[in-house]
Structure 1
Amino acid sequence: MNNQINILIVEDEILLAQDLQLRLESNNDYKTTVVQSYGEAIKVLFTTKMDFLIIDITLKGEKTGIDLANSVNENFNLPFIFLTSHADQQTFDQAKLAKPHAYLLKPFNDRMISMSIDLAISNFNSALMEEDSEAEEQTSPTNKNSPDSLFIKHDNKFKKVAISDIIYLEADSNYTIIHTQEMDYTYAIVLKKIQEKINHSNFLRIHRSYIINTNYVTAFENNAVTLNEDHQLPVSRQHKDEMYRRFQMI
């Protein structure tokens, strides 16, 4: 199971790009791909699953990093950072319109990179969680890049967790416990917001405190369901009929 965060670096100064790549890949949480232009970046995004981008604002060629950022916002819905040595107000104002999730100024160090990535993922997650239900209903049917993973903060860094690895979600007051095959994560967001974020057909609410991944159901009875042979959870009366409709019985 590969939970590395796949980062696309879009930078036309090859030595700087290689330096950034080496710094990132010294951390086993990251896997990187380097391209030098708008066109190369778009090709990678359409052919390879990426989780995150670091984009130089001033790319060579007709299309700039800002153009790429606008395409990312329109077609891919991924978090990205603007990388730049230009901190003047005019450049900042132009870049701001593309709504980057953070900035990384050249020259950079390891701590600056880490802080920028964490800030970008945090801002991206917050923006997604704040979308209202109506907006989600309008975009989700046509979104070709519906997320197949979540970024979850754990031990002061963000980890990529595949949605398919989530066994069930458990409400705990204003927190949600995300039970996965690997480990459990406690996230400071209410269960309803996590449910909106996942929005996958395999997930089913069975109780006010539990949402299950139906792929892990191994048995069920009148008022309980068993996941992976060892997690038995209660099924409330109001959700029982829906659970029975999900499974074929003979």
Structure 2
Amino acid sequence: MGTLIKILVVEDEMIIGAKISMQLTNLGYEVTGILPRGEEAILHVADNKPDIVLLDINLKGKLDGIETATQLQQYGHIPVIYLTANSDDATFNKAKATRPYAFIAKPFKQLDLQRAIELTISRMAENEQSQPTEPKTEGEEQPFILSDRIFVRYKEKMIKIMLADILYIEADRNYSHVFTLNKDYLLSITLKSIEEKLNMQLFMRIHRSFLINIGQVDEVTENQVILAKKTIPLGTGMREQLMQRMQTL
């Protein structure tokens, strides 16, 4: 099932923080918190890991934004987008050393925020994938595939689909249908390209047109697989391979 992308806002001007939160909600993202101090952000991330952190460089308190970003990384690689207001060169260079995904200069518009977030998601995928991106048709947007999730555009907003929640993926010429328990999504990418990018410990190609999540399999017959009451054809000679793979989970 697709879920909203979670974003933490760390901003010591609460009026600005509230405005950013409203803009993020309008864009279809989930705000996990609006916090004024770096110390609070670190505690928050320890319990509620967001997908992205929007972080003011010039935070008041014991930790400024740069020190906060450095300490956040002990909880795993969390993409940071810095919010800046007339930072000097020394501060900018110090912030750049923490390898943020983007900078947004205050004041900014909702469109600036949207573009920075989508560029961040794109970079997250690029950092995890060594394969070149498959060419796409003009006007279409490919999904961003990471090791444990896929980011896709759905109804004008970016959402994430955790790989563990996918039942199966079906080829549809140059597109792919991703089926979860509650929704399905049409992606502008071929099944072959998805197969090359996915964690194939979790998935298996059992038919020329179907890639399944092995952990979601409920029943295997001679020529079919059943996942959440959905019947998928099983290619010739694939049953034994599938059974072996299922035993390794």
Q: Secondary structure at the match of 2:70?
A: helix
Q: What is the CA–CA distance in structure 2 between the aligned matches of 1:151 and 1:244, rounded to whole Å?
A: 30
Q: What is the CA–CA distance in structure 1 between the aligned matches of 2:98 and 2:161, rounded to whole Å?
A: 27
Identity of aligned residues (%): 30
Q: Which amino acid aligns with 2:82?
A: F
State the partner residue of 2:232.
Answer: 232
State the partner residue of 1:140.
Answer: none
Q: What is the CA–CA distance in structure 2 between the aligned matches of 1:147 and 1:67, rounded to whole Å?
A: 28
State the partner residue of 1:75.
Answer: 75
Distance 1:151 1:80, change over 3 A: farther
Greater share of helix: 1
State the partner residue of 1:162.
Answer: 162
Task: Work out whether residues 2 and 160 of structure 2, in 8 Å CA contact, stay in contact via their aligned partners in 1.
Answer: no
Q: What is the CA–CA distance in structure 2 between the aligned matches of 1:176 and 1:102, rounded to whole Å?
A: 31
Distance 1:90 1:172, change over 3 A: farther
Q: Which amino acid aligns with 1:82?
A: Y
Distance 1:50 1:64, change over 3 A: same
Q: 1:105: Cα distance to partner?
A: 1.1
State the partner residue of 1:130.
Answer: 130
Q: What is the CA–CA distance in structure 1 between the aligned matches of 2:67 and 2:188, rounded to whole Å?
A: 34
Distance 1:128 1:153, change over 3 A: farther
Q: Where does the alignment leave 5 or more consecutive residues of structure 1 unmatched? A: 132-145
Q: What is the CA–CA distance in structure 1 between the aligned matches of 2:188 and 2:42, rounded to whole Å?
A: 33
RMSD value, Cα:
3.1
Distance 1:72 1:204, change over 3 A: farther
Q: What is the CA–CA distance in structure 2 between the aligned matches of 1:194 and 1:173, rounded to whole Å?
A: 18
Cα deviation, 1:189-224, whole Å, max 9, x if unaligned, reads 72244313xx6x653443576431234323322343
State the partner residue of 1:186.
Answer: 187
TM-score (norm 1): 0.76
State the partner residue of 2:139.
Answer: none
Q: Secondary structure at the match of 2:100?
A: coil
State the partner residue of 1:25.
Answer: 25
Distance 1:128 1:231, change over 3 A: same
Deviates more, 1:149-158 or 1:27-36: 149-158
Q: What is the CA–CA distance in structure 1 between the aligned matches of 2:34 and 2:85, rounded to whole Å?
A: 19
TM-score (norm 2): 0.77
Q: What is the CA–CA distance in structure 2 between the aligned matches of 1:29 and 1:12, rounded to whole Å?
A: 21
State the partner residue of 1:101.
Answer: 101
Task: Work out whether residues 171 and 191 of structure 1, in 8 Å CA contact, stay in contact via their aligned partners in 2.
Answer: no
State the partner residue of 1:15.
Answer: 15
**Alignment of structure 1 residues 85-124 onto 2, 5 Å:** 85-124=85-124
Q: Which amino acid aligns with 1:114?
A: Q
State the partner residue of 1:216.
Answer: 216
Task: Work out whether residues 7 and 52 of structure 1, in 8 Å CA contact, stay in contact via their aligned partners in 2.
Answer: yes
Q: 1:55: Cα distance to partner?
A: 0.7
Q: What is the CA–CA distance in structure 1 between the aligned matches of 2:24 and 2:50, rounded to whole Å?
A: 15
Task: Work out whether residues 225 and 235 of structure 1, in 8 Å CA contact, stay in contact via their aligned partners in 2.
Answer: no
Distance 1:232 1:107, change over 3 A: same
Q: Which amino acid aligns with 1:19?
A: K
Q: Which amino acid aligns with 2:198?
A: Q
Q: 1:51: Cα distance to partner?
A: 1.8
For these two proteins, the number of residue pairs brought into alignment is: 231
Task: Work out whether residues 224 and 231 of structure 2, in 8 Å CA contact, stay in contact via their aligned partners in 1.
Answer: no
Higher relative contact order by CA 8 Å / sep ≥ 6: 1 or 2? Answer: 2
Cα deviation, 1:60-111, whole Å, max 9, x if unaligned, reads 2332212222233443222221111135433332222211111211001111
State the partner residue of 1:143.
Answer: none
Q: What is the CA–CA distance in structure 2 between the aligned matches of 1:147 and 1:44, rounded to whole Å?
A: 24
